[in-house]
Structure 1
Amino acid sequence: MKTRKGHSGETVERVSPPSEADEVNEINLGSESSFSHASGTTISSRIGPASDWDSLRWSGTAPDAEDMISIDVLAADSTVLIDNLSGPSGERSLSAIDAQEHPRLHFRATLTDSTSRTAPQLNEWSASYMGVPELAVDPSRLGAVPDTLLQGERVSASIPVVNFGPVASTPVRARVTLQDASNTTTTLLTDTLSALAPNGGRDTTSLAFSTTEFSGNNLITVEANTDGPPERLPSNNTSVRNLFVEQDQTPPAVQVLANGREVPPTFEDESFQAPQLPFVSTQPTLEILVSDNNPNL
């Protein structure tokens, strides 16, 4: 038999049938009991990043006198920065928290009812803060570079960096690298751009290089960063472009002229008095002309 004190309707009784009375010595009755806890906690999702913290606000209901809502402010590593905030509703300044040291926060609420064990309700909580710069490399200019070039052709592109965030950035560091077919990375450009104004401020760097040394498959990567707080979406700080450089397979042509007449190629075992060779004076004027069908080399 299983029962609950004061709740006769929850009584459960198990009796073995008479036909099994001589065989059954034990009856098992399994159940899962649930109990209300005196308190519980909930933690907010990550808040930020912020360049300056303003305030925390929360709103809830605590119908009974024993009900209590308490709030803690936690750093990203769960270090408690502010505690002992209590009451069904309230507001607390966060300006004392250094956003450079703690660009992201969590809130933790503890809901307590030690008598009736009916939890108070936290309806909402929110933080107000100043956001951070949000840099983005404009991929359209790099995307305009042809994906296939002949060895020796030059690549040139202007690369804008835009700040979509609500606050100005610090000076922006731009870096362009190329990973070639042998997985060797070469830095093509490093540049420091100006601090970018909020909400669309931009500056541009220029990229120019020769493909002479980069035959085969290549990957161009553009990165833009600052020394400011971490950004909310760092992925758009990078832009990439695949580039295939077709190797020049035709060697240069060499032509030798003696007194203006072309001298045909000779071999080591060939006599210089062979009749097919032209007559050359003892003091000739020699010209060596080198040409290449690839105008970029």
Structure 2
Amino acid sequence: MAPRRGSGGDPEFARDRNGKRTAANGRRPAVSAIDSCPRPELRPYSHGARTAGAAVLPREVVRQTIRQKGPGDDMSGDILRAFEDRFDPARVPADAFYDDSDIILFAHIPKTAGMSVGKALQEAFDVVHSVGWENVHQSFRSKSRQALYARSNRKCRQVLIGHFGWGEIQVWRNQELPIKSATVIRDPLARFLSNYNYNCSPKHPDNESFNARFPTIEDYARDLQIDYQTHLLIGLFYDFDHALELLTKYYSFIGTTEHLGASLEHFRISHGLKGPLHEHHENAGTIPAPAAADVPPHVREMVEEKSRNDMRLHALVSGFYGGPSA
């Protein structure tokens, strides 16, 4: 059987006679990356993790979810170890991703403390290119050209930040440009509720049409995209192991909203940024507790059912910064 090609266009894995994924040498590894994900103890992060109001999803739900296997999740622990070596602050050396003339693509997932992150990045980079939200793809290409032109003339550290995703990042891949992406993820239920509350509020310019389209939170949950955060970051993926591979290949930093201070500090240290990166609190954290408590159980279940891999990814990365608190 011919090897399957991943999103990067490289031969990665084949299938055995039963359709199971095999390593390049044809042997099926015995240990699953998913089996290795849960940790008996979560290591605290020494820079002072921000733990107030962390994950909204109950810890037991998250742990059960991260253990659940998909049909192709039988890879070796090498995938998980590579992911940990790439993103775990306890494993990543200082200045591991330092480059005095790099361009970082910071994918801002909606309602993940983007304003706080944006202000922090202003303090750390020589040039910050804000990608417009009205025509994301066109703005991304324009800002990319500006950043690449600046890099061709002088050494400077630059970052593109905005509501772009894999649809834009793959433009760099297709042009064979070096990709160094970064992002902050959030507990799926907390992000869903925060986004719903914002769209319902007068702060949203089109809140009237939103309320007409989604008169209840249940209506909005029905419209929730499957694994919204993971798909935004890497596009389509074959299974959770494949998602980890693509994130490891194209990203150099993943933080969490719930541990924003520790995440920003790790970003600064691992990328050799001038700092410190201050945590701006006005838009950070989770939604107010009463709003979370008011969510009907069946709506929670709908969000969980559509966010299985997002939950697994968030639980895994949260463990790097001390873990979620329920």
Shorter-chain TM-score: what band? under 0.3
Question: Which protein is bigger by CA-based radius of gyration?
Answer: 1
Q: TM-score, normalised by structure 2?
A: 0.19
Q: TM-score, normalised by structure 1?
A: 0.20
| More RCO (CA 8 Å, sep 6+) | 2
